[in-house]
Homo-oligomer: A and B are copies of this chain.
């Protein structure tokens, strides 16, 4: 039988799943990435995952689809990755040369959001915008059923400006969506309140970026500054969603990521309210807003769907 491999190459682990033609997961292998040990180690770990999956009996691999955090061009070359030792590394070429398979290599958020899109198998949904709200904010654009990357780096939706001269963003600019809605921004907003002598149930837990589950708990306890920070994030998300509807008039907007998983039920109604106020008359109700449903396996499923698409395009 024909099989396809979806790969999610993250900063800490590599997850690979062998799927059958229908998208059913057959075999799953997970290994540490060992990114700090350099390129050779990462490729060895990748080999453990791939070789293991390829040994599955009864399956001939049609193609491999992989998501990598970082900038990946249309030829599958990883120009740069903040968390992986890939610098202008031709990952697609590597997969072809070492394993004799066709491959799709893309940005991890793009691939995962494509997975969320493809999983629906809904032929009336062709144009989709995905927003991934986690430590940062990423995005993905599907046009006419295909992942759109423009000259390579499209869908940096976390860096849409929601406020001219607004909050400083990690990218160096001001007023980006990411500077309001990301877990990093929510954390900074709360910490800045504490530094000014404010109180919060989170004051005992100041190392690094707050976990989404911790923020969820603080929000549910009614912690005022957390509620404020989450509301601020929801509003920025709403402004961005409004702009995205006016720009793309898509069939669907899909929201995912750790912040949405933890706080989506409180953020979504607020974001929708704000988005509606920013959308051209008549458009808002024509666009479905969905929460991602694949969780940790969105990346590998997207890899599967893109691998399968190679053969049919």
Contacts and interface: CB of A to CB of B under 8 A. Distances in A.
Contact of A156 (B159, B160, B247, B250): B247
Candidate in A144, A249, A281 with the most chain B CB atoms within 10 angstroms: A249
Interface string A151-167: 11111110111111010
Interface in A262-301: 277-283, 286-287
Given A127-B151, A164-B162, A281-B171, A157 B242 contact: no
A246 B281 contact: no
A139 B172 CA distance: 28
B281 A154 contact: no
A160 B247 contact: yes
A78 interface: no
B148 A283 contact: no
A242 B151 contact: no
Main secondary structure of the interface of A (DSSP, over half): loop
A153 B280 contact: yes
Interface in A12-28: none
Interface string A85-126: 000000000000000000000000000000000000000000
A306 interface: no
Contact of A286 (B151, B155, B251, B280): B151
A173 B242 contact: yes
Contacts of A156: 246-247, 249, 280, 283
A279 B156 CA distance: 10
Contact of A278 (B139, B161, B239, B282): B161
B280 A248 contact: no
A235 interface: yes
A283 B155 CA distance: 12
Contacts of A49: none
A149 interface: yes
A312 B153 CA distance: 30
A151 B250 contact: yes
B164 A280 contact: no
A251 B151 contact: yes
A143 interface: yes
Nearest to A80: B282
Contacts of A144: 143
Interface string A229-240: 000000110011
A163 B160 contact: no
A197 interface: no
The 6 A-B pairs at the shortest CB distance, nearest first, are namely: A150-B249, A154-B249, A156-B246, A159-B246, A160-B243, A151-B249
Given A154-B249, A161-B242, A162-B164, 14 more contacts: A127-B150, A127-B151, A141-B247, A143-B148, A150-B250, A152-B249, A156-B246, A156-B247, A157-B246, A159-B246, A160-B247, A164-B236, A174-B278, A247-B247
